[in-house]
Structure 1
């Protein structure tokens, strides 16, 4: 008998690891998973931020814990994977969300800044997926990996936004998602990406202050920026049995910006 929609979206008994989970989009996605019944392991660089985020989730009745780790550092990634598996058991859902950006004209972009963005946004996703996949998901022939990309990975930017390293890294995340989905589908692992547009997050604060919220929202057919609910639906679809036949895909959650000709 086919399951109900409510049963398909239920994550009771599942464990999720969310990087960049102490604030913004990562915390929003953690809320979505926890509200559907999953246990949550949060990670980011700062222990104080993680403690506050875990307390927020716990106040909402969600089983949440945390590990401070820098996902730009290989040794931290392996420690994060190991400690999560030791403390939580197998990981059913991995959300790769930790990320960095850097604004500079291409002709003057510091190579060190380029490497910083690539190490966290691409290499970090690969290394953590490899660790969790090899030691938890592949042996059980089950798992979901959700990579947070960006609509910046789909095209260039308006001239006032000079983020070539960020755009390049997020384009790489999209194809990393496709390639990993093709390799690991045989293991029963679904791998998909979310491409957020402009959200009201701390990372976007400077851009919002520079361009103005109304001007940024005007680029979207829906004439709005993303809020603290707009990633919840797609997160649950990708993470749950409701999305069990979806892999290697990306979806823009951007108010329609990516549908506009020329971006």
Structure 2
């Protein structure tokens, strides 16, 4: 009988590439650290001059994984197109697309407006819809 795969073998991302929005903060940061530990290289789509970018870069360097960072405002459709063109031009061949970027207007749910919902969902819609150019 064949030996069962270990958890690390079963869920290995060795030599896979993950494109992630929101990779430098909150759940995105922690997910990218874990994905790196599973063997993935990370492509971070982040805000220009993101003050949190160093944390992800440092962690991935410590575990021997690669990080490529591309700056982009995900609410700007032309910036999204340009960013993904730059990613493809850099020869990135992703295995995973992870969306952790987000905005939120904190208020009681009963006070949430249609404009609030548009803001929250628009960035995710825009970048996914523009990914192929």
TM-score of the superposed pair, with normalisation by structure 2: 0.78
Tell whether the 8 Å contact from 1:15 to 1:88 is kept in structure 2 after alignment.
no
Tell whether the 8 Å contact from 1:44 to 1:69 is kept in structure 2 after alignment.
yes
Gaps of 5+ in 2: none
Q: How does 1:131-142 map to 2 (within 5 A)?
A: 131=131, 134=132
1:93 aligns with 2:96: yes
Gaps of 5+ in 1: 136-263
Tell whether the 8 Å contact from 1:43 to 1:69 is kept in structure 2 after alignment.
yes
Please state which structure has a larger fraction of its residues in helix: 1
What are the Cα deviations for residues 3-38 of structure 1, in whole angstroms up to 9, with x where unaligned?
Answer: 723333221221111110011110111111111111
Distance (whole Å) between structure 2 residues aligned to residue 81 and residue 7 of structure 1: 31
Tell whether the 8 Å contact from 1:47 to 1:67 is kept in structure 2 after alignment.
no
State the match for 2:41 in structure 1: 39
Tell whether the 8 Å contact from 1:44 to 1:50 is kept in structure 2 after alignment.
no
Distance (whole Å) between structure 2 residues aligned to residue 76 and residue 3 of structure 1: 46
Tell whether the 8 Å contact from 2:33 to 2:59 is kept in structure 1 after alignment.
no
What are the Cα deviations for residues 205-258 of structure 1, in whole angstroms up to 9, with x where unaligned?
Answer: xxxxxxxxxxxxxxxxxxxxxxxxxxxxxxxxxxxxxxxxxxxxxxxxxxxxxx
Distance 1:2 1:91, change over 3 A: farther
State the match for 2:17 in structure 1: 15
TM-score of the superposed pair, with normalisation by structure 1: 0.43
Tell whether the 8 Å contact from 1:43 to 1:50 is kept in structure 2 after alignment.
no
Distance 1:104 1:51, change over 3 A: closer
State the match for 2:30 in structure 1: 28
- Which residue of 70, 76, 80 maps to 1:77? 80
Distance (whole Å) between structure 1 residues aligned to residue 92 and residue 102 of structure 2: 25
What are the Cα deviations for residues 59-92 of structure 1, in whole angstroms up to 9, with x where unaligned?
Answer: 3322112111122222222222222222242111
Distance 1:105 1:89, change over 3 A: closer
Q: Which has the larger radius of gyration?
A: 1
Distance (whole Å) between structure 2 residues aligned to residue 47 and residue 73 of structure 1: 16
Distance 1:124 1:3, change over 3 A: farther
Q: How many aligned positions are there? A: 130
Task: Give the CA RMSD over aligned residues.
Answer: 2.7
